[in-house]
Amino acid sequence: MSDAYLALEDGRVFEARGRVPGRTRGELVFTTAYTGYEESLTDPSYEEQVLTFSYPLIGNYGVRTERFESERVHPRAAIAREFTEEVVEWLDSESVPAIDHLDTREVVTSVRDQGAMKCGIAVGDDVTPEDAKAELKKCKGMSEHVDIGKQVSTAEPKFFAGDDGGSDATVALVDCGAKGSITSSLTARGADVHLLPYDASVDMVEETGADVLFISNGPGDPENFEQAQALVEAFTGELPIAGICLGQQVVANAFGGSTEKMMFGHRGVNQPVFDLDTEQVVMTTQNHGYTVADPGELEVTQVNVNDDTAEGLEHGKMNVLTRQYHPEANPGPHDSLGFFDDVLTLASGTEVPLAD
């Protein structure tokens, strides 16, 4: 086993066991999910972050590629109380530094109390605390990558045919870092999906013959996804519009709203959401560090039970429907899978009973 050190922005340095060697840096965040480590590690929304698992044992049911949400691991490094050998082998095959045997409870509570912070990690046979501090120093003063969408989006349009016997809708899904299960949730309902680059043009959307414009989840600041916002503005009133996670934030900005960075975000599979219309609470899967501060012309229809942040936005006249959480789950509860049915109902030209 090699040496490992984690240096935090608040000045503390944690000693750990090195599992995969390397040196890196990034924004330190945590997830409270008990399961779904494969999905979390392959979620593009974790791009350029260092992911800490609050659950103590990661890897207890192996690694299966069919659970992956994308083609690679996205966090710059992974931290746990203990990783199994199978997870270590997987991370090693992708050259993603990994450490364990440290007090992840203290790491998580530090982020919870002080907010997401920058960190530096050094793993190797001869590393020192100064090596981790040097990595941290490299990221101090650096702003978030403004073109992060390019790192996680498809480079060329892709087509996914819908299953037989379902909806005949066509979806233009703008890939700002989309999870694979968003596409499969739509095709399973019979929809044809055109996966488009994050900077797709109006012409590219029109060429698909889409019945609905869908903005995906993704990493970073939604204000950096200017072309996705421009698409929403261009097709407002022309096509129904849907969005998930970062997609909700992009749509809100397009409708005159605003977004802001959260203290430590929502990352886990047990986030309670209250529906203002039905007065019911559903449990949801979430992974985001930004939220809608002002919905602009949109109406807030769902809120987070813990902090009242906007979880659902709608505009009945303009056929807009968005969710801050991940209705497709993977992992997580399936309480909100009906969102995809509502989106495809909008796409078919049939009204969904949205809030007035």
The answer to the question of whether 184 is labelled as a binding residue is no
Residue 355 domain-assigned?
no
Residue 318 domain-assigned?
yes
Clarify whether residues 170 and 295 are in a common domain: yes
Clarify whether residues 300 and 177 are in a common domain: yes
Asked whether residue 354 carries a pLDDT value surpassing 90, the answer given is no
Asked whether residue 103 carries a pLDDT value surpassing 80, the answer given is yes
Residue 23 domain-assigned?
yes
Are 312 and 275 a contacting pair, CB within 8 Å? yes
Q: pLDDT tens, 265-285?
A: 999 999 999 999 999 999 999
Residue 144 domain-assigned?
no
Q: Which residue has the tokens 């807030």?
A: 300
- How many angstroms separate the CA atoms of 72 and 69, rounded? 8
Confidence grade of residue 186 (pLDDT, cut at 50, 70, 90): very high
Domain range for 280: 149-347
Clarify whether residues 160 and 294 are in a common domain: yes
Q: Is 106 exposed, middle or buried (0-12, 13-18, 19+ CB in 10 A)?
A: exposed
Residue 227 domain-assigned?
yes
Of 264, 7, 11, the C-alpha closest to 132 is 7
The answer to the question of whether 224 is labelled as a binding residue is no
- Of 89, 105, 139, the position where a domain reaches its end is 139
Clarify whether residues 192 and 167 are in a common domain: yes
Clarify whether residues 214 and 279 are in a common domain: yes
Clarify whether residues 222 and 311 are in a common domain: yes
Residue 26 domain-assigned?
yes
Of 220, 219, 295, the C-alpha closest to 251 is 295
- Of 75, 104, 139, the position where a domain reaches its end is 139
pLDDT at 141 (0 to 100): 58
Q: Residue 280: give its domain's CATH number.
A: 3.40.50.880
Asked whether residue 37 carries a pLDDT value surpassing 70, the answer given is yes
Clarify whether residues 249 and 132 are in a common domain: no
Are 332 and 269 a contacting pair, CB within 8 Å? yes
Clarify whether residues 160 and 308 are in a common domain: yes
Q: Is 262 exposed, middle or buried (0-12, 13-18, 19+ CB in 10 A)?
A: middle
Clarify whether residues 11 and 116 are in a common domain: yes
The answer to the question of whether 287 is labelled as a binding residue is yes
Residue 324 domain-assigned?
yes
Query: Distance from CA of residue 246 to its chain's centroid?
Result: 7
Clarify whether residues 89 and 163 are in a common domain: no
Clarify whether residues 227 and 108 are in a common domain: no
- How many angstroms separate the CA atoms of 17 and 352, rounded? 53
Q: Residue 60: give its domain's CATH number.
A: 3.50.30.20
pLDDT at 142 (0 to 100): 58
- Give the three-state DSSP class for 324: coil
The answer to the question of whether 45 is labelled as a binding residue is yes
What percent of the chain has a predicted confidence (pLDDT) above 70? Answer: 96
How high is the mean pLDDT of the chain? 95
pLDDT at 355 (0 to 100): 42
Number of domains the chain contains: 2
The answer to the question of whether 46 is labelled as a binding residue is no
- Of 139, 159, 178, the position where a domain reaches its end is 139
- How many angstroms separate the CA atoms of 276 and 296, rounded? 18
Clarify whether residues 163 and 303 are in a common domain: yes
- How many angstroms separate the CA atoms of 251 and 241, rounded? 8
Residue 310 domain-assigned?
yes
Residue of 74, 288, 315, 326 with catalytic role: 326
pLDDT at 327 (0 to 100): 96
Residue of 119, 194, 245, 288 with catalytic role: 245
H helix and E strand count, the chain? 10, 19
Q: pLDDT tens, 315-350?
A: 989 999 999 999 998 888 888 899 999 999 999 876
Look up 328 and say whether it is catalytic: yes
pLDDT at 87 (0 to 100): 98
